[in-house]
Every structure is written in C-alpha cells, then in structure tokens.
Structure 1
Amino acid sequence: LWGVPTQMLLGVLIGTPIFLWLGISLSGSLILALSIAMSSSVVIVNITRSPKRATNSMTEEALLGWSLVQDLVGVALAALILTVFGTSETSLVMAIGGLFSFAAIAVIASKILPKVLRAVRWERDLFLIYSISFGLVLAAVGTVLFDIPMALAGFIAGLTINQSRDTDEVRKAILPFRDLFAVLFFVVVGTLIQPSQLSDAWPFALLILVMMVLLKSLPTILIAKLGKMNATPFHLGVGVSQIGEFSFVLGSVAYSQNAITLTQYTGLLLAVVISITGSTILVRRQKVQKQ
C-alpha cells in the first residue's frame, strides 16, 4: 500500500515545479502534476479483462489494488488542491469545512446504501433506480451545498457506491452502459481536441508523456522490484502508465477555472488518447504463463 502514495507524491512533488517553470499557475501546476500521477481505473479493469492480456493473476490483482488506492488518494489530493487553490469566493476555513462535511456524508451514505439495496434486492428496476439516484443525489449535494466541482463530486459519489459488495449486482446490470460510456469518453475527448491547437499542443503532450514515464511508470516498476511484489514489474509499470477519466476531469476543471490555457488543455487530451492506446498495446508484450 505504501507504494501507491509514494508514486503519487513523487509525481506531484517533482511535476509541479516543472509546470511552474513553464509559467503555469500554482493551482494549474498542481492539478496537471496530479493528473499525470493518476491512472485510468477503467483502462486497468479492461486490461485485466482483455482476452489478449499477457498479465498473470498476481499482476492483475496488483493493478486493481493499485488503481483503487490511486483513486482514494487522488480524490483526497484533488479535493484539497481545489479547495485551497480554487476560484471559489468561499473562505478557506469554510471550504475545508465543507470538504470534510461532504466526506463525512459520503462515508455515511456508503453505510446506508447497502441496507437500502438489500431491501429492494428482488425488485430489479427499483434496485437499479435507487443505486443510480443515490449517486446523482450525493453528487448534487457536494456541488450545490459544498461548492465542490460537479465532476469531482460525481467521481466521489461513484467511489462511494462502489465500496459496497451489495452493488456488485448494480455493476453487472450497468456493465453494458459502462462500456458504452467508455466509448463515449473517447468520442468526447476527440470532439474537445481542436485541430487549430494541434501544432501548438504537441510539444506539451509529449512533455506529459515523458513525465508520465519518468514519474509514474519507472517508479512503479522500481517499487514493485524493491517491494518484492509477486506482480510482474514491467506489466505493472506499463499497466498504470496512462491517464484517463480522472485526469480528464481534473484538466477540465483547471481549464474552466483558467488555471491552464486551451493549448495546454488540448495537450493533456492528446496525452490521454496516446497513453491509453500505448498502454493497452504494450501490456500485451512479454507474455508469461498465467498463475
């Protein structure tokens, strides 16, 4: 467990000064550095499900565990950054108080939801409606009452729902929708990339990709070796060597708050597409016998 926070803090602490040196604001630099430190949980799940995967069972377990801890640590860091450096006119004390209040509500909600779902387990329609409504209401509470960015509040609501074993049936029911939204995610990213910005955005996209390798992939491989993990270091490092939906959310928030420019935002989107494509291809290399 110590390896994931180490990898993420390393990425933020080294990545932030680099972006500051490029003239990006402190809030924008922190958000971009955290975006690079994060990986796409959706991509990691798909890697472990792919029939063409070359990962063994121990590596797949490590990837899923790594992704889960990344989400938890990443949400906490993102909420802290957006609270302290956000553009909201709310005072710092009130913002931090609201953040902790929403976190407490999310924890309480994660305890209540399983009981509600068990009560309507045999009503499939109600079971699904209650689950989705629960997440939407929780996200709305975070956005409206506590002034948390909608994208981040929605992400936290999703994590809250996923913490319960009773939502396994929900995940199975909405699996086709999840795959559909995964496709729509790429479509949305593609539509947001403006051709007029490509020539200027490529250098920034390449910088993000290089930083991703140096600050995430290589440290992850090193941590796997030093920690004597049963996972294959190469596959673990390559499996997390991408940025996806959470980085897209953070980048969108930063751009909406004018913390980064359109060119930098476009570069981040390019890095999302390239890194996901490259990671899913490279993780198939060096095939080993599955355990």
Structure 2
Amino acid sequence: MPWKPSLGWPRAEAVEGHARLLLDLAMVLGVAALTSVLFQRLKLPTVLGYLLAGMIVGPHVPVPLVADLGNVRLMGELGVILLMFAIGLEFSLPKLLHAGPPALLTGTLQVGTQLVVGFLVARLLGWPPLESAFFGASLAIASTMILAKLFDERGLRGPLKETVMGVLLVEDLHAVLLLAALTAAASMGGPSAGAIATTVLKLVVFLAVLVGAGRLVVPRGVRWVADHARDEVLLVVTAGLCFGLAQLAAWAGFSVAMGAFVAGMLVCESGRGRKVEHLVHPLRDLFAAMFFVAVGMLMEPTVVLRDWPLVLLFSALVILVNAVSVTVGATLAGLPLALGLRAGLALGQVGEFGFILLSAGIGLGVVDPSRYALLAAICVATALATPALLSAGDPASRLVARHLPAALKTYLSLYQSWAATLRAPALRKAPGAAVRRTFLHLLLDAILIGLVGALAPRVVRMSAAWLEGHAFGHTLAQGAVLLAAAILVGLLVRRMLRRSRVLAERLLDLPGPGDLGARPDMRRAFRTGLRLGVLLLAGLPVLAAVLALIPLTSLGTLSAATALAVPLLLWRRARGLQRDLDAGAEWLGENAQDPWGPPGTSAVPSAGGWRTLRIGPHCPSLGRSLAELDLIGGSSVALVALLREGHLVEPRPEVLLQPGDLLALSGSGSALDAAQAALGREPEAGHSSG
C-alpha cells in the first residue's frame, strides 16, 4: 500500500528507514573522507580512495562496518545523473568544432579499436556476445575525472592538454551513443539488424523532439533565471531540469544518464553553462563519490584474486590499445607523432563511464555481476599506472623519434605540415557541400556493408529452415547466399575506396604551406594518409555497432587485416616519398629565410605550418648538435629535412650545424617562431662547439 501523509508522528518503519539512511550516509562519507585524504597525500587519484572506502563498508571485507547497498546505490545513481549533467554542460557544438577533425578522428579510432579488441578478447574467453559488447564498451572510455585532476595537480597546459581534452569530449559523445544502443539491444533480447534499426530510429526521433523543443525553451529560461534570480534559484531550476529529463528518458526506454546529458547540453546552449557548472560542481563531486563507493562495495577480493590474470590482461590491453590507436589517429589527423604518443599514454585508463555502462548491462541481466569486481580491479590498476604513463610520455616520444626510420620521419613531418592547413579555418573555405556529401556517401556504404554482414547469417538460417531435409539444396543455397554477400561487400568496398580517393583529392586541392599538396609526389603520399583516416572514421563506428552480429573468425580476420594494412601502406608511401625527395630536394630551399645571412638580406615570408631556415655565417648555433638544440623529438616543431650542399642529410642527434645548412621545420606559427629564436640564441656559458 502506498504511504499516505498524516498529521501524526511518523510510523516506526519510516523512522527506522530514515535512521538507516542517515547511518549509511555518515558511515560512507566518514570512511570516504579518510581514504580520499590518504590517497591525496600519496598523490594518487582520489577515485581509488572511494573504491577502497566502498570495500571497507561493503559486505565482502571482514570489517565491522557494513552499509546498505541499496541506499548507497541510490545515492550513487544521483551521482551518475549529476556527472552526466556536468559532462553535458561541457559539451557544446563550438567546443566540438574547436577540437576539430583531429579530435573526432582520434577519439573515434580509439573508442572503436578498444571496443572491437575488448569484444574479441571477451568472446575468445567464451563470454556471450552481449556481455562481451558491454564489457568492451566499458573499457573504451577514458576517465575525464582522473585526467582533469592530474593535469590540474601537475599544472600541465598547452597542446597535450588540449589534445587529450578534445579526445575525451569525443569519447563522451560516443559513450552516450553506446549506452543508448547497448541498452536498447539488451532490452530487445539481443542484437539484430531490425533491433539496431529500430533503436537508431527511436533514438533519433526522441533526441530530435527533446533537443528541438528544448532549444526553444531551456536556453532562454535558464538565461533569464541566471540574470534575474539568486544563485540558489538557478541551482534548483537546473537540477530540476536535469532530473526531469533523466526521468523522461527513462520513461522513453533509454538511460537516465542520457537524459541528464541532454539536459546539460541544453543548459550549455544558454551561455550560462560555466555559472551552472560552478554551482553543480560540489553536488556532482559528493554524489560521484557515492557512486564509486557503491562500485567498491561490489568488489569481491576473492573474485579479484581468482581473476588476476584477466585483470592483468585487460589492463595491458587498455594501456596498449589506447596508446597505439590514439597515436595512429592523431598522426593521420596531422598532429605530431610525439604529441599523439603522449596523449595515447595519458588516456590509458578505464573511466567512470565504464561503470555506468556495465551497471546498465548488469541491471538488464545480460552481464554477470562478478564483472563489476573485475572492471573495478582494472580501473584500480590502470589508474595507478596513469601518473607513471603521463610522466613517461616525453621520454617515450623522444625514444620513438630517435629510432623511427628516416623515411617515415620525413613523411610524417611533411604530412603534418600540410595537414595543419586542414584545421577549422581552412575547412570553412573548402567546398563544404561536396566534402560533406562525399563523406555521407562513404558512411552510407559502410552501413550497408554492416547490414550485409548482419543479414547474411540470418538468410542462411532461414534457408536451412526452408530446405530442412534437403542437404544438397541447403548447401547450394548457403553457398549462393555467401557468394552474393561477398560480391556485394566487394562492390561496396570498391566504391568506398573510390569515394575516399575523391574526398582526399578535394581536400588536397586546398592551398597548403609552400603548395606541398600541389606537387605530384606529395599528393600521392598525402592521399594515402587522408584516405586511411577517412575510411577509419567512416567504417569503425559501423563496425563497432554490428560487431556482435559478425562471426568471430570474420571479425578477427578483418581486425588483423586493418591493423596490418595501416602501417604497411604508410611505410610504402614513406619509402616512395623518400626516393622522390632524394631525387630532387632543391625545392625545399626555394623560399628559405636567411635571418643570419649577410646584413641587408631580406627574409621571405613563409606560410603557417612550414618554414625553411638557412644557417648563415653569423648564426649563434653554428657548430652545435641537433640534440643540443632539442630539434629531435623534444621540441614542439618537427625537423622535416636537413639539406647540405643540395643533398639530404639524415638528421641524427649528433649532426653539427654548418654554414649554408637548410633546416626545413614544421609546426604552428608560434612554435616555429620559438624554434627560430632558439637557433639564434647564444650558447650557455661553458658550451664548447665542436
């Protein structure tokens, strides 16, 4: 019977329930306060302290402090809603556009690769398809909370933080889509082509109605309240909107987290997102702590001890796959290799969104509850490794730069110089409609390939039912279906390759620094990198969406072929470009600046992203080595080539600068100015030039 309010004293059951809730709150916050202070003193992520607090007050550790899991999980769900609301407050279209194509390509490649690899490993361990998909998705999203705190504690700014935060923004967007798709697939009894199509259509309609109607009302209302009311009123209004849309999403069959995310995004459109974020921040941190405490309460030490090989395996996969995929994605997007590697190492941990995804799977009954303890152990292991990985980023990038083959180093440096022109300002001058149309056609072809791969097994099973008892007819029908599917996929792949070439050519027609894209040898080399990036950006999300429908052997073969094709194609183009450069590298010095030449020498203006400097007779860096000048792997510019008397010289760290040398550098305008200033700076006292 529902409880009815009365004017008398509260009933004994209500008093007991309130007392229990108060006791749980005091117990959890008290223990969490102690553990979080301890971990902060140890300079470890406070998230680990919350997990330890959950283990202490949980039922699986012999400590005489046991909180009610139901109460803690209820408060933890409030933390999930507020956390997603805060992520929505940081998500805006201008921010996404500012992050640009590099963040979109890098984040998509990282999430897609980690999801596919995690799914493959889980399936090889014998886990069911849906459980494997949920667990793979839970490994794919890095931790915004851990990285934001680490960057703040270490005072890290600049390109690394901008790159990592841009990738995290794209990851959060993918996480919301994964949550909606996986939840819908599980509620429909498993993945199927029809279920995916229905889910996508329902999600699109729901978001279109919610966002379309919300943008007409919410931004104006929040703006008025923020400008005319007190801060506490603004907090109450926005919190009410957050929980209201969360409940609306739950009624529509989606996750409450997605509704909270949409609410935050709508509030961000008001232009008062910063103010609301400042007000919500303490509440978010408080209830987010309760969420991680609830996760810790579910950790069973016996399960972790039993599954320690899986903890090590998945932790290594998270670190390795994230490092490789982010490095490849950033490089294909035109960012420096060193920056991509540092960002990939920084992103090598499991984030808070992984627990949200796994909680949804456990709640729907498709994920074994013991996987929670496994994920929590992986989170602890990767979070403990994150500070060391962040510190190792710079030495690792220097090591890779020193041992990278000269041909590949030159290719990546030139590609980075040209790709710098494809940032947002240049794209606004591009033939936008044609580029968008070609990319949408590519995406449609990828979706059709996924549908063919998903429908072919179903058609084979249907033919087996129709031709039951006719072995020869069944074999013939099965062969015909598979042959037709293979032919159709081959035609679609061929069309995708052709369209990726067209898209790359249109992007290559943009003006670049020194007209690099206009040279035939450069066009061939750059086109390969562009096509790989475009194909991965279009194909990986679709592959991740239908991976549970593809046979395991086919998925493994496709993943292995893709992993081998990318480096082989880049190496082939790098070798070809190196031969072309060796045959005629004089064009590199056509627009050389000569700031240290004879008096009166005029400097030639150079385009952004590219500069060639001639070492004149009065340059203070004469006789100094490239390693001493920090031009090999350590600076924010890339040394594309070193020309001496018209011939390319391999830029080894021990090479000494001589009069007349040409240094071809690439990087941002400010980085190039800084490199030129460093070359013109007098050596420190005690330096002896060799």
| Cα distance in structure 1, aligned partners of 2:215 and 2:375 | 33
Secondary structure, counterpart of 1:259 in structure 2: coil
Q: 1:35 to 1:221 in 2, by over 3 A?
A: same
162, 168, 191: which is aligned to 2:274? 168
Q: Give unmatched runs, 5+ long, in structure 2.
A: 1-103, 395-633, 637-670, 672-690
Secondary structure, counterpart of 1:2 in structure 2: helix
5 Å matches for 1:236-247?
A: 236-247=343-354
* Superposition CA RMSD, Å: 2.9
> In the alignment, does 2:298 pair up with 1:187?
no
> In the alignment, does 2:179 pair up with 1:84?
no
C-alpha displacement of 1:26: 1.3
Quote the residue 1:104 is aligned against: 208
C-alpha displacement of 1:177: 2.9
CA contact (8 A) 2:246 2:260 kept: yes
C-alpha displacement of 1:137: 0.7
C-alpha displacement of 1:268: 0.8
CA contact (8 A) 2:303 2:370 kept: yes
Letter in 1 for 2:133: L
Secondary structure, counterpart of 2:307 in structure 1: helix
CA contact (8 A) 2:322 2:347 kept: yes
Question: Residues 83-104 of structure 1: CA distance to partner in whole angstroms, max 9, x if unpaired?
Answer: 2233569x94765443223322
30, 33, 41: which is aligned to 2:144? 41
CA contact (8 A) 1:224 1:233 kept: yes
Quote the residue 2:171 is aligned against: 70
| Cα distance in structure 2, aligned partners of 1:203 and 1:152 | 34
> In the alignment, does 2:222 pair up with 1:117?
yes
CA contact (8 A) 1:152 1:249 kept: no
263-272 vs 131-140, which moves further: 263-272
Letter in 2 for 1:117: V
Quote the residue 2:134 is aligned against: 31
Secondary structure, counterpart of 2:161 in structure 1: helix
Question: Residues 157-183 of structure 1: CA distance to partner in whole angstroms, max 9, x if unpaired?
Answer: 445545653211011122233333444
Question: Residues 68-94 of structure 1: CA distance to partner in whole angstroms, max 9, x if unpaired?
Answer: 1111122113312222233569x9476
| Cα distance in structure 2, aligned partners of 1:272 and 1:163 | 33
TM-score, normalised to structure 2's length? Answer: 0.38
CA contact (8 A) 2:151 2:157 kept: no
Q: 1:118 to 1:88 in 2, by over 3 A?
A: farther
CA contact (8 A) 1:4 1:70 kept: yes
5 Å matches for 1:131-150?
A: 131-144=238-251, 146-150=252-256
Q: 1:104 to 1:129 in 2, by over 3 A?
A: same
183-192 vs 204-213, which moves further: 183-192
| Cα distance in structure 1, aligned partners of 2:347 and 2:203 | 28
Secondary structure, counterpart of 1:147 in structure 2: coil
Letter in 2 for 1:79: A
CA contact (8 A) 2:134 2:367 kept: no
| Cα distance in structure 2, aligned partners of 1:170 and 1:88 | 39
Letter in 2 for 1:114: P
Question: Residues 24-47 of structure 1: CA distance to partner in whole angstroms, max 9, x if unpaired?
Answer: 221111111112111122223223
Quote the residue 1:266 is aligned against: 373
| Cα distance in structure 1, aligned partners of 2:114 and 2:276 | 34
| Cα distance in structure 2, aligned partners of 1:189 and 1:162 | 30
Q: Give unmatched runs, 5+ long, in structure 1.
A: none
Q: 1:227 to 1:206 in 2, by over 3 A?
A: same
Quote the residue 1:209 is aligned against: 315
| Cα distance in structure 1, aligned partners of 2:311 and 2:301 | 14
Q: 1:159 to 1:120 in 2, by over 3 A?
A: closer
4-13 vs 64-73, which moves further: 4-13
**Paired residues, what number?**
287
Question: Residues 183-227 of structure 1: CA distance to partner in whole angstroms, max 9, x if unpaired?
Answer: 434323222212332222323222221221232222112333443
TM-score, normalised to structure 1's length? Answer: 0.85
Q: 1:192 to 1:104 in 2, by over 3 A?
A: same
CA contact (8 A) 1:138 1:157 kept: yes
Bigger RCO of structures 1 and 2 (CA < 8 A, at least 6 apart): 1
CA contact (8 A) 1:24 1:260 kept: no
Q: 1:227 to 1:99 in 2, by over 3 A?
A: closer
CA contact (8 A) 2:138 2:353 kept: yes
Q: 1:112 to 1:217 in 2, by over 3 A?
A: farther
Q: Percent identity?
A: 23
Q: 1:67 to 1:138 in 2, by over 3 A?
A: same
C-alpha displacement of 1:20: 1.4
Q: Which has the higher helix share?
A: 1
| Cα distance in structure 2, aligned partners of 1:289 and 1:132 | 46
